[in-house]
Chain A
Amino acid sequence: MAMLNIENLHANVGDKEILKGLTLEVGAGEVHAIMGPNGSGKSTLGYVLAGREGYEATSGSVTFDGKDLLALEPHERAAAGFFLGLQYPVEIPGVSNLNFLRTALNAQRKLRGEPDVSAADFMRLARTEADAFDLTMDHMKRGVNVGFSGGEKKRNEMVQMALLAPKFAVLDETDSGLDIDALKTVAGGINRLRSPERGFLLITHYQRLLDYVKPDKVHVLSGGRIVRSGGPELAHALEREGYGELAA
C-alpha cells in the first residue's frame, strides 16, 4: 500500500463541507504537487491530515504508513512521522525556537521509544539546519517566528522539518513569499531530504518551485476533490491556461 492513502475523504470546517470525496495516493520516495484555485480546500486537507481541531473528517479514510491516521492525536501523528509545514506559520512569543524544537523532537522520540537527543547533539543539529536555510542562531534563540519576516518564517518551517526528519511532509505554500535565492535554498532542502523512504506533498500556486523540485505527479484540487492528475507537464499547462478549462 502507498505510504499515504487518502480514500474518498469528506471533511467539514465548522458545519461547512470543504473536502468532498478526495482520493489521493502518494508512495514512499515520491513527490506530488497539489495545485488549485484559492479556497478549493488545499490548506484544509493539510489541517485534516495533521488533526487540527475544528477540521473534522466526516467520512472516508486516511492510511499513513499502515496506520489509521485519523484515529491519532496530532502529536501522535507527528511521532508517527507526519509533518505539516504551514501556509501561515504561527508566532509564539515567549517560547524560544530552540526550546520548542528540542521539546518537540524529544517528545516524538519518547513516543517512539527512542532515547532523548543530548543537548550537545541537538545544538549541533540546530546550527547545521539553521545554516542550511540561511537563518542565524539569533533566529533560533528568539521566540518561535517572532519578528521573523514572511520568508524567514517559511525557512523556519524548513529548519523544523529537517530537524524532525519526518517520513512524510505536506508543505503548504512553503514557496509563497520567498525571494529567488530563498526559493532555491528551500528547493535544495527538499531535494536533499528526498529519499526512497520519504514522501512529499507540495501545495503550491507556482510552477517555479516545481522547476527545482521535480514532482512525480501533479494534481489539481478544485471544489474539495482531485479533479485532475498528471505528470509535471500538467503544472506547465496550468501555468499557461489557468484553472478554467483544466479544473472544470
Chain B
Amino acid sequence: MNALPIPTRRDEAWRYSDLEALGEVWPSGVVSERIDVPAGETRALTLVADAAQPVAVRDWTVTIADGARLDLHILNLGGRYGRVALDVTLGEGSHFELGAAQVAGGKTTLEIVTHVRHAAPGATSRQTVRTVLAQQATGTYLGKVAVDRGAQKTDAAQSVKAMLLDRTATANAKPELEIFADDVKCAHGATVGELDATQYFYLTSRGLPPAEAKRLLLHAFLADAFAGMDDAGARETLEAAALAALERLA
C-alpha cells in the first residue's frame, strides 16, 4: 500500500463515509484487487460483505477487454463500515453488469462507489443498486459513468433505489454522467422512498401479519438487484443472506 494521505470529506468519493472507521484500517487494511477479464471471455463474481469483517474497505480495479463480459453481484451488509469501490474500464463491445443490494440498521455505514469508464465504442453497462436502511444507518451509492470521446454507441444504465424504514436513516444516491461522445444512450434514475403504504395495506388486509408483509415487500425490492443472475444457486444464496439481514432489522 502506498503512503496516500487518508481521504477527507472534501473528497467527493468519501463525502458520506465513516472516516473514523476508515482511520482504523487505513491504509494497510484497504483490500485492493484487480480483476481483468480477457477479450471475449465471460466472468461472474459474487461478493457477500458481512459483519465477519466489521470494517471492510474494498477497492477494486476492473478491466473488461473487447467483447468480454463481467457479471458482478454484491450483497453489502457490513458490520460497522462496509465500502466497495469499483473502477471499471470497458473495452469495445464489452458488458459490465452490477447488481448490488445493501441492507443495514444500527449505526452502520455502507457504500458502493463506482467509476465506469466506457473507453471504446459499443460497450454496455448496467448497474442496479437497491438499499434498505433502518435506524441510524447510512447507505450511499455514488456512481459516475464516463464516456470517452470515441466511445460511440455506448449504452449505460444506472437504476438506484433506496428505502428508508425509519426517518433516522440516511440514503445518498448520486448517479452521474460525464459524456464526451454524441451517439450514446445513458439512462439513470435514483429514488429514495419508504415502504409503499398502499401495498402494505393490501397485504395485511388479506391476512399477512405486519412483519411478514414488510418482509415480502422488502424482499421484492431487493430482488431487483439479483434478478439478472444466471446461476440460480448463487442467486438463492444471495437472496437468502439478504432475507436474513432483513430479518435482523426487525
Contacts and interface: CB of A to CB of B under 8 A. Distances in A.
A113 to B, nearest CB: 14
A108 interface: yes
B97 interface: no
Interface string B202-227: 11111111101100110111011000
B197 A100 contact: no
Question: Chain B, interface size: which category?
Answer: 20 to 34
B28 interface: no
Contact of B209 (A50, A75, A89, A93): A75
Contact of B216 (A95, A108, A111): A95
7 contacts: A73-B204, A78-B207, A92-B220, A94-B221, A95-B217, A103-B212, A160-B206
A104 B223 CA distance: 20
Interface of A: 50-54, 73-75, 77-79, 83-84, 86, 89-90, 92-95, 99-101, 103-105, 107-108, 111, 143-144, 160, 164
B210 A105 contact: no
Contacts of A54: 197
B202 A75 contact: no
Given A53-B201, A94-B224, A75 B208 contact: yes
Interface of B: 197-199, 201-210, 212-213, 216-217, 219-221, 223-224
B220 A94 contact: yes
Given A75-B210, A77-B205, A108-B207, 14 more contacts: A74-B201, A75-B207, A75-B213, A78-B206, A78-B207, A83-B206, A90-B199, A90-B201, A90-B202, A101-B206, A103-B208, A103-B216, A105-B207, A164-B206
A92 B217 contact: yes
Interface centre among A79, A89, A100, A164 (most CB of B within 10 A): A100
A43 B216 CA distance: 26
A2 to B, nearest CB: 22
Contact of A52 (B205, B206, B213, B224): B205
Contacts of A79: 207
Interface centre among A51, A78, A92, A143 (most CB of B within 10 A): A92
B65 to A, nearest CB: 35
Contacts of A100: 203, 206, 216
B107 to A, nearest CB: 29
Contact of B205 (A78, A92, A93): A78
Contacts of B210: 73, 75
Contacts of A50: 201, 205
Contacts of B216: 95, 99-100, 103
Contacts of A143: 220
Contacts of B201: 50, 52-53, 74, 90
Contacts of A77: 205
Contacts of B197: 53-54
User: Which 5 pairs, one residue from A and one from B, show the smallest C-beta to C-beta distance?
Assistant: A94-B220, A78-B207, A108-B207, A90-B202, A74-B204
Contacts of B206: 78, 83, 100-101, 104, 160, 164
Contact of A74 (B205, B212, B220): B205
A45 to B, nearest CB: 14
Interface centre among B202, B212, B216, B224 (most CB of A within 10 A): B202
A99 B212 CA distance: 12
A108 B221 CA distance: 24
Contacts of A99: 216
Nearest to A79: B207
A215 B51 CA distance: 61
A45 B244 CA distance: 38
A107 B207 contact: yes
A77 B203 CA distance: 12
Given A92-B220, A95-B220, A164 B207 contact: yes
Nearest to B220: A94
A165 to B, nearest CB: 12
A158 to B, nearest CB: 13
B207 A86 contact: no
A180 B225 CA distance: 42
